[in-house]
Each structure stands twice: as C-alpha cells, then as structure tokens.
Structure 1
Amino acid sequence: MATTNLKGNLVTLAGSEINVGDNAPSVKVVAKDLSEISVGGASDKAQVIVIVPSLDTAVCAQETRTFNTKAAAIPNATVTVVSMDLPFAMGRFCTTEGIENLQVGSDFRERAVANAYGVLIVDGPLKGLSARAIFVVNKSGKVVYKEICPEITEEPNYEAALCALKESATPEHKCGCGAK
C-alpha cells in the first residue's frame, strides 16, 4: 500500500495505484451545480487532476488559487480540483476566491477518484479524505506526471506539474520534464 505523511506521521493510502504510463481512469465527480463531470480518460485536451483533502484549509486554498492563475494560461488544457468537500462549499469557495479558470469536483458520493487513483486516506485524523496529489493526463488518456505529496500539509511541485501539462497540451512546448 502507498503511504504519505500528515505532520510527520505516516498515513496509509488505499485504492488502485496509478503510475506514469498507465491509462488514467475515467471517473465522475459532482460539480458545484450538482451535475456530474468526468475526469481522466482520453479527452480533446490535456488534463491536470489536482486532488486535495479540503478547500477549507490554507494549503488547499493556496494550491487551488495557484492552479487557477497559472494553468489558465495554458491552451488546450483543463484543470479540475477534486476534494471530498460538498459541492455547495466548493461553489462558495470559488465565488469568494474568484476561481473562474478551473473546475471543481466533489468526490463525496462514491470516492471514485480517491479509489481509482490510490489516494484515499485510510487511517489517521484525515481518514476518509484524499491525500494531496496531482495527475497530468495527456489527450490519449495516459498519465504523464504523478505526484503524491510526501507531506499532506505542503504544496506540490507546481513547476513540474505545469511543465508536464504544457508539454501534453502544446506539442511544440518542451520544458524538459519528458511528458508526452
């Protein structure tokens, strides 16, 4: 089983382990308007799936604001932030924070993303939430970048994730991360 840390304490993750080169599972989450949206799988755009424990924490909020700003400038790409937060709370967060360049999806109904991508926390104080992770998926549905943050309370490697997204979304862009 995969693991990560919460304030230095080891926590166990459950679900299917997805790695670079694997097909990204296509799963449904609940949008802020209660409709269903799909993440993963083949698409007409490259995707970054940003998985966070809850938008109601400072680190998750900052991460979402950062992707809202930086990923918006990347053509042919979509960004979806997934958490276990209720859709209503996600909508309120987006309105309050001015989040307009990405979509948010709640995994509260089925925990489909958490299980399909292997990031469901099964012990410790955050049991039942998702670990902090990023998956970049190219247009053909392959995972080209994966990061499960080694410490849940710390932000991800934005530069590496955005490089992989740029290389997947814009074939002529080469920043050296090796994404295809």
Structure 2
Amino acid sequence: MSHAISQLDEPILVEDNLLRVGEVLPFFQLVNHALEDITLESFQGKRKILHFFPGIDTPASADSVRRLDALGKTLPNTIILNISPDLPFTMTRFAEAEHLVNSINLSSLRGRDMFKNYGVLIMSSKLAGLPARALMVADENDMVLHVELVDDLTREPDFEAALKSLMAH
C-alpha cells in the first residue's frame, strides 16, 4: 500500500512508510554546498524542520525555501534543512541569488535512501525516484512532532501547523 498525492490532478503514489508523530528520525547522510557528507548527528541538540521537495526549479519549491528561510531568523535553536535531489551547486546558486542565509540546503547526491526511509519517495509518474513535497518537524532529541505529506506537488506545506507543533514543545 502507498500514499496517494497528485500533481495538478494526476495521481502519484508515494512510499508507504511515512514517519509518524512520536517516532525518532532515522539516520541520514546527505551532501552540503561544499560536497561534505552531513548526517543527522550534525544537528544534535537542535530542533529541526526538514523540508523535502522534488527540485528547486519549481515555483512551489522556490517559494517554500524562501518562506522557510525567512522563518529561520525567528526560531531559536532550530535548524531548517531544505532537502532535494538538486546538485549542491544548484541550491547554492539559488540561495546566493535570493540572499538566503537562515537555512541549510542539502542534496541527496549520496543519500537517496533517505527519501525511502522517511516515506517521501515518489514511486509512480514521471517523477518516480524524487521526493514528494513534505514537511517534518523534530525536537532536540530527534522525536517527530509534525509530519505533512503535501497532497499536491504544486502546493506549499502548511507552515502554520508546523510552527504550532514546534512552539508547543
């Protein structure tokens, strides 16, 4: 069984092991702007917002990254991770052009298993292999406080619901 989302009313199936509130974030290894391997342990003791998206070159992804970066200024002890299959260079160019400094862009260049492990891997459509648009919030101990798998790839996540879960803990 899998989760169903859509892209402009075209059905898309997503991996069925989406993390749930109360679970602990599983290990991941991704790549930063300097092609260094970054793991979950790199953010130990910080609250986390994990923002998954298929690629920065779509309006909804670009808008979400901008919006989260702006929120990053106001969230103490919280790290915002923008996670996509884009090359680190692509994400760096975007961040520099947009003057984004309050979030971290990570590439699945050497960590595509994260999409499957976190339950956001698109399994059908022309986008198979990419992550669905999702937002996850975790506390300092990596316990999941909020999970949203956005029901249409062209829409942004519900940032207010994510922030509420973060502020409640």
Structure 2 counterpart of 1:21, one-letter code: G
Q: TM-score, normalised on structure 1?
A: 0.87
Mark the CA change 1:7 to 1:39 in structure 2 (over 3 Å): closer, same or farther. Answer: farther
Provide the rounded CA distance (Å) in 2 between the counterparts of 1:82 and 1:29.
8
Mark the CA change 1:10 to 1:106 in structure 2 (over 3 Å): closer, same or farther. Answer: same
Instruction: Name the structure 1 match of 2:55.
Output: 54
Provide the rounded CA distance (Å) in 2 between the counterparts of 1:42 and 1:80.
10
Q: Is the 8 A contact 1:121 1:130 kept in 2?
A: yes
Instruction: Name the structure 2 match of 1:136.
Output: 137
Instruction: Name the structure 2 match of 1:164.
Output: 165
Structure 1 counterpart of 2:111, one-letter code: E
Deviation at 1:146, TM superposition (A): 0.2
Instruction: Name the structure 1 match of 2:76.
Output: 75
Structure 2 counterpart of 1:143, one-letter code: V
Structure 1 residue ranges (4+ consecutive) displaced by more than 4 angstroms after TM superposition: none
Instruction: Name the structure 1 match of 2:108.
Output: 107
Mark the CA change 1:110 to 1:160 in structure 2 (over 3 Å): closer, same or farther. Answer: same
Structure 2 counterpart of 1:13, one-letter code: V
Q: How many percent of aligned residue pairs carry the same amino acid?
A: 29
Provide the rounded CA distance (Å) in 2 between the counterparts of 1:130 and 1:87.
16
Provide the rounded CA distance (Å) in 1 between the counterparts of 2:86 and 2:65.
13
Mark the CA change 1:42 to 1:88 in structure 2 (over 3 Å): closer, same or farther. Answer: closer
Q: Is residue 35 of structure 1 aligned with residue 48 of structure 2?
A: no
Give structure 1 stretches of 5+ with no counterpart.
169-180
Q: Is the 8 A contact 2:50 2:137 kept in 1?
A: yes
Answer with 32-41 or 42-51: which moved more.
32-41
Q: TM-score, normalised on structure 2?
A: 0.93
Structure 2 counterpart of 1:80, one-letter code: L
Name the count of aligned residue pairs: 168
Deviation at 1:125, TM superposition (A): 1.9
Provide the rounded CA distance (Å) in 2 between the counterparts of 1:4 and 1:67.
22
Provide the rounded CA distance (Å) in 2 between the counterparts of 1:65 and 1:145.
20
Structure 2 counterpart of 1:71, one-letter code: G
Deviation at 1:15, TM superposition (A): 6.1
* RMSD of Structure 2 on Structure 1 (CA): 1.7
Answer with 54-63 or 10-19: which moved more.
10-19
Mark the CA change 1:139 to 1:37 in structure 2 (over 3 Å): closer, same or farther. Answer: same
Q: Is the 8 A contact 2:137 2:162 kept in 1?
A: yes
Q: Is residue 152 of structure 1 aligned with residue 166 of structure 2?
A: no
